[in-house]
């Protein structure tokens, strides 16, 4: 499985989780390889259960197999990463989760040919590994070899099988699988990026429904879970592209929240709690004496501060940092900040004073408004200029 650091709500949470519970095991040509703690838990669990059920040799076998699969997944990810480098896209890190690798590409080129090459490179690496293993084995492994997996020969048979399965799984034409991106790139060459994504997302969701039905009929609960995940991922990819489409080229001031309660850095947390009760805001920009943005405080942050440091603590001590942009910064630069994990983006006027802020929720509202206006039956109706093209 593959996810690029591209904006969708699921990878939004996944990226925050990925960073918090992972550690780096090395850097290859500027890309840090990080392992998620749950992957080590999986290794430990598999080793332990192998030992208990079939002894130390079985435990060693299963752990070796998992580590080799892990190496294959890393190679797959580096297929994407090196392909992306050819188009001038750097990848700061790749995180290994039990469900697969997540490469955090700085961006994915909208240009269909580039996206196609980057998306297909990973599965091609996986296919190459499978072919090399099959050549070494000299033939297709038998079902017994794969099930029993005895010795080095059995290990190679199992590894070849896993790589073939990974190759096929990744080519399912649905986001976030590589096949979804390959499909989108193909459709985008003659439909354009936005329309191509819409059609690709529809095909992906149809695939998800089919997978889900197969899972239900065969009683395979994992397949059903994968189908649900794929269904929502496809929808969210579609939403993101539509969002980029409606905000493209617009300055921050067109999308920011500019009617809001602000907190003062020197005030106590009690003042924040009071603002939470007396307004319908759930997050508050914090300003300093000059009116410049000093930080940000969410409802959860306020509750944590009340329970921890206490209501007399200065807000400055419990607030979080958020990125700040000028009111003229284009939304094209701001959307990736929010999908990259920022709680909000502060917007400053020309003198550096806090003018407003942008959150993921308010961008989603803008998207809903734009869709509602577009969905109006009379094509001649004049939509406000704000909805773009
Ligand atoms: Zn991939």
In angstroms, rounded to a whole number, what is the distance separating the alpha carbons of residues 319 and 150? 57
* C-alpha 211, offset from chain centre: 22
- Ligand 1 centroid, distance to 71 Cα (angstroms): 14
- Ligand 1 centroid, distance to 97 Cα (angstroms): 13
- Ligand 1 centroid, distance to 24 Cα (angstroms): 20
Q: What is the DSSP letter of 323?
A: -
Residue 176: cis peptide before it, omega within 30 degrees of 0? yes
- Ligand 1 centroid, distance to 374 Cα (angstroms): 34
300-327 core/surface letters (b: 16 or more CB in 10 A; e: else): ebbeebbeeeeeebebbebbeebbbbeb
- Ligand 1 centroid, distance to 129 Cα (angstroms): 14
> Side-chain half-sphere of 176: how many Cα atoms within 13 Å?
25
In angstroms, rounded to a whole number, what is the distance separating the alpha carbons of residues 388 and 249? 10
In angstroms, rounded to a whole number, what is the distance separating the alpha carbons of residues 18 and 111? 28
Q: Please list the ranges in the chain whose pLDDT falls under 70.
A: 1-20, 98-101, 106, 108, 149, 340, 376-389
For 57-82, what is each residue's pLDDT tens digit?
778 888 888 889 888 988 998 898 88
- How many CB atoms within 10 Å of residue 52? 10
- How many CB atoms within 10 Å of residue 287? 18
Coil vs helix vs strand at 266: coil
- Ligand 1 centroid, distance to 150 Cα (angstroms): 29
CATH number of 252-368: 3.10.580.10
For the sheet with 345-348, list strands across it.
324-326, 345-348, 354-358
pLDDT score for 193: 79
The torsion angles phi and psi of 174, rounded to 5 degrees, stand at -145, 145
> Side-chain half-sphere of 148: how many Cα atoms within 13 Å?
9
- Ligand 1 centroid, distance to 357 Cα (angstroms): 35
List Cβ<8 Å contacts ≥24 apart for 356-359: 356/252, 356/253, 356/256, 356/257, 356/258, 356/260, 356/327, 357/256, 357/257, 357/260, 357/285, 357/296, 357/322, 358/252, 358/255, 358/256, 358/257, 358/334, 359/257, 359/283
- Ligand 1 centroid, distance to 80 Cα (angstroms): 7
- Ligand 1 centroid, distance to 122 Cα (angstroms): 5
- How many CB atoms within 10 Å of residue 241? 23
pLDDT score for 340: 67
Contact between 217 and 310 (Cβ < 8 Å): no
Q: What ranges do the domains of the chain cover?
A: 1-171, 172-247, 252-368
For the sheet with 2-3, list strands across it.
2-3, 100-104, 93-97, 31-36, 22-28
> How many helices and strands, by DSSP H and E, does the chain display?
14, 11
pLDDT score for 45: 86
pLDDT score for 376: 66
pLDDT score for 89: 82
The torsion angles phi and psi of 148, rounded to 5 degrees, stand at -85, -40
Checking DSSP bridges between strand 283-287 and strand 263-264, what pairing results, if any?
Answer: parallel
- Ligand 1 centroid, distance to 114 Cα (angstroms): 15
- How many CB atoms within 10 Å of residue 200? 28
- Ligand 1 centroid, distance to 136 Cα (angstroms): 24
């Amino acid at each position: 499985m593959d996810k690029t650091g591209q904006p969708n709500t699921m990878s939004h949470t996944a990226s925050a989780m990925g960073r918090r519970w992972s550690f780096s095991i090395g850097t290859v040509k500027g890309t840090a390889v990080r392992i998620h703690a749950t992957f080590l838990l999986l290794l430990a669990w598999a080793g332990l259960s192998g030992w208990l059920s079939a002894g130390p040799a079985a435990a060693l076998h299963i752990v070796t197999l998992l580590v080799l699969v892990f190496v294959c997944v890393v190679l797959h990810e580096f297929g994407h990463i090196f392909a992306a480098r050819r188009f001038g896209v750097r990848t700061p890190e790749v995180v290994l989760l039990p469900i697969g690798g997540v490469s955090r590409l700085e961006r994915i080129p909208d240009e269909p040919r580039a996206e196609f090459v980057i998306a297909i490179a990973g599965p091609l690496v996986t296919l190459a590994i499978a072919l090399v293993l099959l050549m070494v084995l000299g033939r297709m492994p038998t079902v017994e070899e794969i099930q029993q997996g005895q010795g080095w020969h059995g290990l190679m048979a199992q590894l070849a099988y896993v790589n073939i399965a990974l190759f096929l799984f990744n080519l399912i034409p649905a986001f976030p699988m590589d096949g979804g991106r390959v499909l989108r790139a193909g459709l985008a060459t003659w439909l354009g990026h936005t329309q191509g994504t819409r059609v690709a997302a529809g095909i992906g969701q149809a695939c998800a429904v089919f997978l889900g039905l197969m899972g239900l009929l065969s009683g395979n609960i994992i397949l059903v879970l994968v189908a649900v995940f794929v269904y929502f991922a496809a929808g969210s990819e579609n939403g993101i592209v539509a969002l980029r489409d409606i905000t493209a080229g617009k300055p921050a001031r067109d999308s920011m929240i500019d009617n809001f309660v602000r907190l003062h850095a020197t005030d106590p947390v009690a003042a924040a709690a009071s603002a939470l009760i007396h307004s319908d805001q759930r997050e508050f920009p914090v300003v300093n004496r000059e009116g410049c943005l000093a930080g940000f405080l969410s409802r959860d942050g306020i509750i944590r501060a009340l329970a921890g440091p206490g209501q007399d603590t200065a807000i400055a001590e419990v607030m979080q940092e958020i990125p700040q942009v000028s009111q003229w910064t284009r939304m094209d630069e701001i959307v990736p900040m929010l999908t990259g994990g920022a709680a909000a983006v502060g917007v400053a006027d020309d003198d550096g004073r806090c003018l407003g802020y942008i959150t993921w929720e308010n961008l989603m509202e803008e998207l809903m408004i734009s869709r509602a206006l577009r969905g109006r039956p009379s094509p001649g109706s004049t939509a406000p200029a704000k909805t773009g093209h």
